[in-house]
Amino acid sequence: MLFNTKEEWPFQEIHEQTVIVEKYLECALLPLAMGNMTPRILFKEPENSNIQLSNFHVNDSFASKSHTANL
């Protein structure tokens, strides 16, 4: 529900709002933004491997026939 309040979130703000340990937050965000799922649920900018300096926003065009996502 975090993305309902603001369109784009930096990693650090997501961490502050959710109070999830950074290591676990990285593990949760990585497959949503860079996983092998097409299309991706989240976009990450810049598109590099450094997740802690990235901004995330929802892929509004994401659609799936399934009600679950295999991460």
pLDDT at 38 exceeding the cut of 90? no
pLDDT given at position 35: 76
pTM score: 0.80
Q: Give dist(CA 66, CA 2) in Å, integer.
A: 22
DSSP per position, 38-62: SS-SEEEES-SS--TT-EEEE-TT-
Three-state secondary-structure class, residue 8: strand
Helices 22-34 and 11-18: crossing angle in degrees, nearest 10, is 130
pLDDT of residue 57 exceeding 90, the answer is: yes
Q: Which of 21, 18, 19, 24 is nearest to 5 (CA)?
A: 18
Of the given ranges (7-11, 24-28, 47-51, 66-70), which has the lowest mean pLDDT? 66-70
Is the pLDDT score of 69 beyond 70? Answer: no
